[in-house]
Amino acid sequence: MEEFIAKLRDDHSDFNKGSLDDRIKATDPMLLFQKWYKEAFERNCAEPHAMVISTVNSEMQPSSRTVYMKELLEEGIVFYTNYESQKGQEILSNPKVSVLFYWDCLERQIRINGIAEKAPDELADDYFASRPRESQLGAWASAQSQAIKDRDALDKAFQEAEVRFEGKSVPRPPFWGGFLIRPSYFEFWQGRPNRLHDRICFHRVNEDEWDVHRKNP
Ligand SMILES: Cc1cc2nc3c(=O)[nH]c(=O)nc-3n(C[C@H](O)[C@H](O)[C@H](O)COP(=O)(O)O)c2cc1C
């Protein structure tokens, strides 16, 4: 067997960067999420805003991919994408999503389940306007998730967008915008020695009430 495959079994390193006191059960999970994100940001964790989002299609097949959290609002988190992409279409027909953040630098993982909805147009307009022009043109050029003949066809679509908007500002495409995920479940995971990790879970009961418990690792 090749060494890099055989080595898969050899990683027995322990987790020892922190612990979760049961007292955090009294915290609002959205505030705790913000606190953890702030810590990941301040510790210069790599891409702390990168999150894996899973969607489920009409045949109950889940799909996962990485996106960037771009807004952290009181009511939830927002990412931007093409509404006609696979994820966009899946969310529009089944808004139940699952999100995962993993911050190796802190040995922390956060699972979030929630309901996604289109974010307000003004928010998307504002964010789109702040993007580099090339990214704006890229949004027009890419029929995200659709099959395309070859790389040349994609580069050609980009050039066409350049010509189309030459000398003008690039408007937000009607098929591109944000999804706001309103959390209904959070799990905060902190790695601990001997695989006895801490897991504190919050299930939403109503607007401002959460059912909280610790889970076995
Ligand atoms: C680090 C990283 C960040 C990404 N951020 C986004 C994003 O914010 N929005 C997006 O639509 N795709 C983003 N992507 C690309 C997606 O992972 C995915 O390939 C694309 O959205 C198409 O997914 P879909 O066909 O399942 O809809 C990112 C990929 C990586 C690796």
- Residue nearest atom 13 in ligand 1 by C-alpha distance: 67
The CB of 72 under 6 Å from ligand 1? The reply is: no
In a domain, 40, yes or no: yes
Contacts of 1 (CB under 8 A, 6+ apart): none
The per-residue pLDDT string of the chain (217 residues; one tens digit each, 9 = 90 and over) reads 899 999 999 988 899 999 999 999 999 999 999 999 999 999 999 999 999 999 999 999 999 999 999 999 999 999 999 999 999 999 999 999 999 999 999 999 999 999 999 999 999 999 999 999 999 999 999 999 999 999 999 999 999 999 999 999 999 999 999 999 999 999 999 999 999 999 999 999 999 899 999 999 9
SS3 call for 143: coil
In a domain, 137, yes or no: no
The CB of 81 under 6 Å from ligand 1? The reply is: yes
The CB of 66 under 6 Å from ligand 1? The reply is: yes
In a domain, 8, yes or no: no
Q: What is the pLDDT of residue 208?
A: 86
The CB of 176 under 6 Å from ligand 1? The reply is: no
- Which run of H or of E encompasses 199? strand 198-206
In a domain, 159, yes or no: no
In a domain, 184, yes or no: yes
Q: What is the pLDDT of residue 64?
A: 99
How far is 190 from 142, CA to CA, in rounded Å?
38
Q: pLDDT tens across 3-45, in order? A: 999 999 998 889 999 999 999 999 999 999 999 999 999 999 9
Catalytic: 172?
no
Question: 0.85 cut: is pTM over it?
Answer: yes
Closest atom of ligand 1 relative to the 68 alpha carbon? 8
Among 195, 199, 204, 214, which one carries the catalytic annotation?
195
Q: What is the pLDDT of residue 85?
A: 98
How many angstroms separate the Cα of 90 from the Cα of each of 15, 53, 55, 97?
A: 36, 12, 6, 9
The full DSSP string for 97-110 is: EEEEEEEGGGTEEE
Residue in the block written with tokens 């699972």: 111
List the domain range (segments joined by +) for residue 56. 14-124+178-214
> Exposure of 44 by Cβ count < 10 A (0-12 exposed, 13-18 middle, 19+ buried)?
exposed
In a domain, 132, yes or no: no
Identify which of 51, 64, 66 to mutate to test ligand 1's pocket (most ligand atoms within 8 A of the CB).
Answer: 66
In a domain, 185, yes or no: yes
In a domain, 149, yes or no: no
What is the tally of structural domains in the chain? 1
Tokens of 78: 């927002």
- Residue nearest atom 12 in ligand 1 by C-alpha distance: 67
With CA atoms as reference, report the closest residue to 185 among 99, 94, 109. 99
CATH number at residue 185: 2.30.110.10
